[in-house]
Amino acid sequence: MEEEYIKSLDRALSMIPKRTTSGERFEEPKPEVTVFGTRTVIHNFNELARRLNRSPQHVLKFLSKEMATAGTYDGQRVYFQGKFHEATIGQLIHIYVTRYVICPICKGPDTKIEKSGRFTTLTCEACGAKSPVKPV
Ligand SMILES: [Zn+2]
């Protein structure tokens, strides 16, 4: 019986257009971090930015600022000056997601960052909300 119920639930969910499924929990990407001497590498940076649906440059700018260090993006990985724990970077990704990805109104991840004049807003494509955000 339960199986039937789950099947019909699956069917129902699959019929919902993609846009409106954004209320689902957003899975935060985890950084793969290695420290080499005095440098820290995020191996999956490209993938990370893609999953966050943001430009690598924007994510890098945020991380560099929060970590107070310089970062270099080579099109795939990012290299930071200094030693940082994977957990620290994971925490920063979490802050980034909360601040620049998730819509504060509907909690969906289908958002984009827009600039109008002096203001930067997080515009939600699911619910249409425009929320002010701090520029990086
Ligand atoms: Zn929204």
| 64 Cα–ligand 1 center, Å | 28
Report residue 22's pLDDT band, with 50, 70 and 90 as the boundaries.
very low
| 84 Cα–ligand 1 center, Å | 33
For residue 71, give the 3-state DSSP assignment.
strand
| 65 Cα–ligand 1 center, Å | 27
The pLDDT score that the predictor gives to residue 11 is 64
Count of domains forming the chain: 2
Residue 38 and residue 81 in contact, taking contact as beta carbons nearer than 8 Å: yes
Are residues 95 and 63 both part of a single domain? Answer: yes
Q: Show the domain range for 117.
A: 103-136
Is residue 15 in a domain? Answer: no
CATH number reported for the structural domain that contains residue 84 in this entry: 3.30.70.3150
The two tokens of residue 37 are 């001497």
Token pair 């970590």: residue: 67
Q: What is the pLDDT of residues 76-95, one digit of tens each?
A: 999 999 999 999 999 999 99
Q: What is the pLDDT of residues 34-52, one digit of tens each?
A: 999 999 999 999 999 999 9
